Structure 1
Amino acid sequence: MSNKRLKIEVPKNPTDVPIIDLTFELNNERFFSACKVEECEVKNKSEDRLIFDKMIFSQVTFEKVSFRNVEFTDVLFEKCDLSNVDFSDAIMHRVMMNDSKMVGANFSGATLRNVVFESCLAIYAAFGFSNCKQVGFRNSFLINTDFYESTLKEFEFDLCNLEQANLARTKLKGIDFSTCTFERLTISFEQLTGCTVSFEQAIGFAKALGLIVKD
């Protein structure tokens, strides 16, 4: 059973916004506000320092896209394919990624505030050196996902598959793993203090420390 979820602010998206052709608009604009991108493909784009405000992306596929140092505020991604997109050093505030694919997506060095990843496939995604506060990963696949040396405050993993995820050199105080599944997890044992695990997970950690656990 899931524990009580972390309270996270949701995007403040307006209704009845115009639909735009993002591929065309990227040639002319650096700031996008109160509009929607839906049912399309964005390909072969490398842009930095874009600003997206009060935006909705619905059923959008990104292919060979690099959006470094981009700012997202009040943005919803719904059923999108963000696989291998480069979001490194991005700033995200009140962002929701719902039922989206993010295999190999790069969020390294990103600053995330009030961000929810709900029912996402984020295998091999990279969040190393990110700074996260009020961030939730819920019912998502995070297999081989990298959180190396990240800052995780007011942060939750809820009902996630964390098999072989990398949390080395990341402080885990306040993190609750008890609803998640994994057999192997890369962590720094000195950073385990203050995290919450299930009984079965505690046995696994004890064995990894070389302790002999009797039934």
Structure 2
Amino acid sequence: MGKKIKLELPKIPPVLEEGSFRNIYRDEDLHLMNCKITGEGVDDVELDQVVLSKVVFKNVTFTNALFNRVDMIDVIFENCNLSNASFKEGIIHRVTFKDCKLMGTDFSEANLGNVSFINCMGNLSSFVDARLKQVVFKETSLQSANYHDCMFTKATFSKCNLNDVNFAQTLLKGVDISTCTFERIHVALDSLDGCEVSAEQAIGFAKLLGLKVVE
């Protein structure tokens, strides 16, 4: 297994006032800062270029919400439902998603740095054309997720379900998938150069090359 990635965690003040997502409409520039939001429903909202900073969301529902070109820094989502939400073209820095539903969530063309996905359900999520630098996926289901034409820098997948994931046109050099499970993934064999895999996975990829592995 490769070196553990050291992430910059969200910088959250020790004390946050309880807030409401509705407060974002009080600011013409759609800023929401320095608050904790618990148990709200923010479904089907559509906002462009929202700025979220030093915010903790807990048990909040964002299903079908569109936050294209969002600017997020120092944010925590805990036990939130972001299914089919869109963060397309967003800038996402020092953000943690923990115990969240991310079914079909769209991160395409986004820039993610120092972001962690921990024990999340991210099946069918999209990271098409995204740039991921110092990003960790841990104990997260990513079945049929789409990483087409991504750029990974210091990224790791730890104990994730990667079945049927699409890594087409994505270089996996330095990416660790050695602890992950999958029956099949979509990847060009030359894109695996430098990818960190387990011995069992290496045998599976060798068979794709037409080699007969003698055990």
Question: Could you tell me which amino acid in structure 1 is paired with residue 67 of structure 2?
Answer: F
Query: Distance between the aligned counterparts of 2:209 and 2:146, measured in 1?
Result: 22
Query: Distance between the aligned counterparts of 1:153 and 1:3, measured in 2?
Result: 13
> Is the aligned partner of 1:113 residue 2:113?
yes
Residue aligned with 1:92, SS: strand
Q: Which residue in the other structure is 2:32 paired with?
A: 32
Q: How many angstroms does 1:32 deviate by?
A: 1.1
Q: RMSD in angstroms over aligned alpha carbons?
A: 1.2
1:124-173 Cα distance to aligned partner (Å, 9 max, x none): 00011100100000111111111111000011111111011111111111
Query: Distance between the aligned counterparts of 2:3 and 2:120, measured in 1?
Result: 20
> Is the aligned partner of 1:12 residue 2:11?
yes
Q: Which residue in the other structure is 1:155 paired with?
A: 155
Q: How many angstroms does 1:189 deviate by?
A: 1.2
Question: Could you tell me which amino acid in structure 2 is paired with residue 28 of structure 1?
Answer: R
Question: Could you tell me which amino acid in structure 1 is paired with residue 186 of structure 2?
Answer: T
Query: Distance between the aligned counterparts of 1:109 and 1:76, measured in 2?
Result: 21
Q: Which residue in the other structure is 2:210 paired with?
A: 210
Query: Distance between the aligned counterparts of 2:166 and 2:208, measured in 1?
Result: 15
Residue aligned with 1:14, SS: coil
Question: Could you tell me which amino acid in structure 2 is paired with residue 47 of structure 1?
Answer: L
Query: Distance between the aligned counterparts of 2:124 and 2:47, measured in 1?
Result: 23
What percentage of aligned pairs have identical amino acids? 38
Unmatched tracts of structure 2, length 5 or more: none
Q: Which residue in the other structure is 1:187 paired with?
A: 187
Whose strand proportion is higher, 1 or 2? 1
After TM superposition, the score normalised by the length of structure 1 is 0.95
1:18-63 Cα distance to aligned partner (Å, 9 max, x none): 22221x2243321111011111111221001010011100010112
Query: Distance between the aligned counterparts of 1:56 and 1:4, measured in 2?
Result: 29
Q: How many angstroms does 1:109 deviate by?
A: 0.5
Query: Distance between the aligned counterparts of 1:135 and 1:177, measured in 2?
Result: 13
Residue aligned with 1:42, SS: coil
Query: Distance between the aligned counterparts of 1:204 and 1:67, measured in 2?
Result: 39
Query: Distance between the aligned counterparts of 2:95 and 2:64, measured in 1?
Result: 22
Residue aligned with 1:66, SS: coil
Question: Could you tell me which amino acid in structure 1 is paired with residue 88 of structure 2?
Answer: S
Aligned pairs for 1:1-215 (under 5 A) are 5-22=4-21, 24-29=22-27, 30-215=30-215
Q: How many angstroms does 1:183 deviate by?
A: 1.1
Question: Could you tell me which amino acid in structure 2 is paired with residue 9 of structure 1?
Answer: E
Residue aligned with 2:207, SS: helix
